[in-house]
Amino acid sequence: MKTVLITGATGDVGTHLRRELAGKYSLRSSDKRPLKPAKGEKFMRADISKMSDALRITKGVDAVVHLGGYSVEGPWDGILKANIIGCYNVFEAALDAGRLAGCAMDVGRAPDQMPTPRLAARRDVIATPHAAGLTQPAIEHQSLETVAQAGEILKGRAPKGAVNAGHWTRKVKG
């Protein structure tokens, strides 16, 4: 059974995704916050702003669904560490280890919300558009849409609306 790492596993999207993938994949869940893992799930507490933690949690996995970081406003230092440095660390640790067929990232359509050219040009990266909202129904929809996108990626298909699907050639083989 393939092992899927979910960062940000205690958040809304991570919680939905863990339930959706349970039993279909061997789950390795990770977060800064504690989590009581479900049966068959492994939890690894980590601070992804530390490359050593990113390397530790990505070791030996087949796929990464990176959800770690702030999804709402927060202190700049926390956002910098989790959403920027942490994202970079997780992607680089996973991709450079050569253990993954690819990674997915949630991006906006504005130039300052796009992946770095270095990440976007990689053949093992797929970027999907961000559909955030401020209402509870929009937040719930975003969670479920992210779960659906992760499911498509894990089946080896580019999700609808992927912004760099033409560059993504190292798809996960179901």
pLDDT value at residue 70: 85
Task: With residue 128 as reference, give the H or E element that holds it.
Answer: strand 125-129
Q: Name the residue ranges covered by the structural domains of the chain.
A: 3-167
pLDDT value at residue 100: 60
Q: Check: pTM over 0.85? Answer yes or no.
A: no
Q: Report, in angstroms and rounded to the nearest whole number, the Rg of the chain calculated over CA atoms.
A: 15
Distances (CA, A) of 153 to 23, 82, 104, 161: 17, 23, 8, 12
Q: What is the pLDDT along the chain (174 residues), one digit of tens a residue?
A: 899 999 999 999 999 999 999 999 999 999 999 999 999 899 999 999 999 999 999 999 988 898 998 877 888 888 889 888 898 889 888 887 776 656 666 666 666 666 777 777 777 777 766 555 545 666 677 778 888 888 888 888 888 878 777 777 766 555
Which pair of tokens denotes residue 68?
A: 């770690």
pLDDT value at residue 133: 53
- On the 0-12 / 13-18 / 19+ scale of CB atoms within 10 A, 137 is exposed
pLDDT value at residue 171: 66
Domain 3-167: give its CATH code.
Answer: 3.40.50.720
